[in-house]
Amino acid sequence: MSKIRILSLDGGGIRGIIPATVLSYIEDKLKEKSENPGASISEYFDFVAGTSSGGILTLLYLCPDDKKKSKYSAKEVLNLFLEKGDEIFKVSILEKIRNLNGIIDEKYPERFLEKLLKNYLSQNLLSDSLKPCIISSYDIRNRKAFFFTSIEAKESKNNFYMREVARATSAAPTYFEPSRIKSMDDTTHALIDGGVFANNPALCAYAEARKIDFKKILSNPSKSLKPTAKDMIIVSIGSGDIKEPYYYKDFKNAGVFQWIKPLFDMMMSGNSETVDYQLRKIYQTLPKADQMDYHRIQPKIINADNSIDNASKKNLNALHRDGLLTVAENKKELALIVDKLIENQ
């Protein structure tokens, strides 16, 4: 029986360059080891989950071309972030003055992000996804978690343009205004960044994969019907781990404004750590050989600024260097992952 290969990508704004760098390396190694020059992320993973920038990456990897193959290679996706990343977080001096740098209005106008998403994802629908996927967002009107899934997108009420899914999952509060999108049956949703509750979507991926008939969906009889943990290889990639310490003396009398940034920071990192803990505990219940099929790669941010919106050319390059450093420090584990991806075709 061939195991289900799951890829999960954390949120992290412009820090998405780091996992994009890691995945570019993985794709190159897949081409080399499989002797398949057309090898792609979408071909060697059976299910993909993403939040925020991880959701954007997911959609780019799973976006089809006219021949139902990957429209973009992992290297092209990385170059998009490196070359166009500064356009996403573009703001004029006048707009900065008008919104008091994000205090009384969102920090960045959404038009640049939306233009970029439209250029790259075009008219493709979520139902066109090359592989099953789940992308998180949060419904502010109905106050509940909202999940875009490509399987449920076969129904028009759950189907959306890929570009609008990408916009919704990355609508980070205070950075961009909420996304107001319509499904193919004209149902309207008001959504924000899924990172507010699922910055690390790996556990969401696990839960969703449990109910999928991969034999049927992938037309592959060697795949599992409703797999359990022992039938899954999970590769979960973070967007950079740097923990700024906060001290009691600085926060014992802190007010709302002083707590905003630390709370956002702790919510994102705390969620990612909790999901990692839960999945490790799940895999520890399995036989020894299967325990090794959960891979969590959390890069270190050493050269770059850890802000999710520092898209200066200098910081984009620094993030790329941190991505390359992550590859160098994890070559043994990445080689193991590549081998497993090929073995479980």
Rounded distance, CA 230 to CA 206, Å? 11
Q: Which of 35-49, 232-246, 299-313 has the least mean pLDDT?
A: 232-246
Rounded distance, CA 281 to CA 155, Å? 35
**pLDDT over threshold 70, residue 21:** yes
**pLDDT over threshold 90, residue 20:** yes
DSSP per position, 69-120 = SBSS-HHHHHHHHHHHHHHHT---HHHHHHTTTTTSS-SS-THHHHHHHHHH
Count structural domains, the chain: 1
- Do 45 and 26 contact (CB within 8 A), yes or no? no
Confidence bin at 269 (pLDDT 50/70/90): confident
Rounded distance, CA 322 to CA 299, Å? 8
At 216-260, the pLDDT tens digits run: 999 999 998 999 999 999 999 999 976 678 888 877 787 777 777
Active site residues: 52, 193
pLDDT given for residue 249 in this prediction: 83
At 147-201, the pLDDT tens digits run: 999 999 999 999 999 999 999 999 988 888 999 999 999 999 999 999 989 999 9
Domain range for 47: 4-344
Using the 8-state DSSP alphabet, how is residue 317 labeled?
A: H
Q: Would you call 79 exposed, middle or buried from its count of C-beta atoms within 10 A (0-12, 13-18, 19+)?
A: middle
What token pair was written down for 44? 């060697």
Give the CATH number of the domain where residue 147 resides: 3.40.1090.10
